[in-house]
Structure 1
Amino acid sequence: MMRSIIAASLSALALGSVAHAQDTSYTLGAGYERFSGDGVDLDSVVFRGRYDFNQYFGVEGQANIGIGDDSVTVLGTPVDVSLDYAVGVFGVVRAFSNENGNVFLRAGYTDSQVDASVPGYTVSADSDAWAYGVGGEYLFDGRNGVRFDYTKFDYDGGDADVFGVSYVRRFGG
């Protein structure tokens, strides 16, 4: 009798795990993001991966690599500013979600490195920030799509508004 109960329990657990696994998915993407703050606009390429626990909750990580630089004038001297990298991890809540797209909120923590240089001298600054934002994805065929998002990086010394557009590819459920 006890073996039958254990076998039935394990079978129910296995079937529940399979059903849960079909609800999960992950998404990979790459695109462009622009950091704007304190009079500086910095362009970057972003690579992102997201794991969805279910239709409404997930976690994502991203890495930005700076491309190009911007120039600002400080005390009459032109200073070139560039983004080396930014990495972050975010919790994602999708308020609306179906097989063709979703609208999401996200919040997380990031670390960034920025360089500022004048001829003959370069300074690097490593800053971490809490970040939060909103966005949406539209999947053309249920697997491939486009993502638009806005994220506010809240650094100790100031803020950056980050706007992005990316290609996304969904795998799994």
Structure 2
Amino acid sequence: MKLNLILAALLFTSIATTANAEGGYGGFAIQGTNYEADGVSDDADVNAIFLKYGRRINNTFSVEGRLGYGVSDGSVEVLGVDVDIELDKFAGIYTTARLTTDSAFKPYAIIGATYVESSASVVGVTIEGDETGLSYGAGVELHIHQDAVINLEYMSYLDKGDIEISGISLGINFQF
């Protein structure tokens, strides 16, 4: 129930602010994703890409949406058997808070909610699952041009039950 209230608040905030805010941006990123499950000694490393679109509310706050897809599978060994892990897709809505500085480097914190679809395959049998959860992270932006920003970010996308999904991404945003 708490998560639904958080999602509703973030969605309302994004609709209200994108209607009045100036300063949109769009971009993409590549991400090294870590998929960790309880009871499994290894973590699966999966690569992903994502697109993002956002609107700045002011110099500090913005709201953005992301849509991503896994581009490579990971593998873990469970009881001597290889299990292939795939991050099928993910989508989320987030609010970011930037530290306003005179420097070209601007650190930020990010919080929101992410929906994740993933699958695991072993000896021809595939199990698919989906989950939604609270997401949070931190990053730094480097303003390389008036309309271009490179960012490096750590994000904990999902930490629910026996699964934890997190990632480090490198991306570029173009402001318009």
Would you say same fold, with TM above 0.5?
yes
- What is the RMSD computed on CA atoms of the aligned residues? 1.8
Aligned residue in 2 for 1:51: 55
1:162 is aligned, of 156, 160, 167, to 167
Post-superposition Cα deviations, 1:4-57, rounded to whole Å, max 9, x if no partner, equal xxxxxxxxxxxxxxxxx7x72111111201211321111101111111011111
Say whether 1:27 aligns with 2:31. Answer: no
The aligned counterpart of 1:91 is 95
Which aligned segments of 4 or more residues in structure 1 are displaced greater than 3 angstroms? Answer: 97-101
TM-score (structure 2 length as normaliser): 0.79
1:120 equivalent to 2:158? Answer no
Structure 1 residue 100: Cα displacement: 4.2
Q: Give me the TM-score of the superposition, normalised by structure 1.
A: 0.80
Structure 1 residues 106-141: Cα deviation after superposition (integer angstroms, max 9, x where no partner): 100001011111232111010112110111211211
Question: What secondary structure, in the 3-state scheme, does the structure 2 residue paired with 1:32 have?
Answer: strand
Confirm or deny: 8 A CA contact 1:30 1:166 kept in the other structure.
yes
Q: Which segment drifts farther, 39-48 or 136-145?
A: 136-145
Unpaired runs of at least 5, structure 1: 1-20
Partner SS state of residue 43, structure 1: strand
5+ residue gaps, structure 2: 1-19, 37-42
For residue 10 of structure 1, what is the aligned residue in structure 2? none
- 1:104-143 aligned at under 5 Å gives the runs 104-143=108-147
> Which has the higher Rg, Structure 1 or Structure 2?
1
Structure 1's 63 and 146: CA in aligned 2 closer, same or farther, altered over 3 A? same
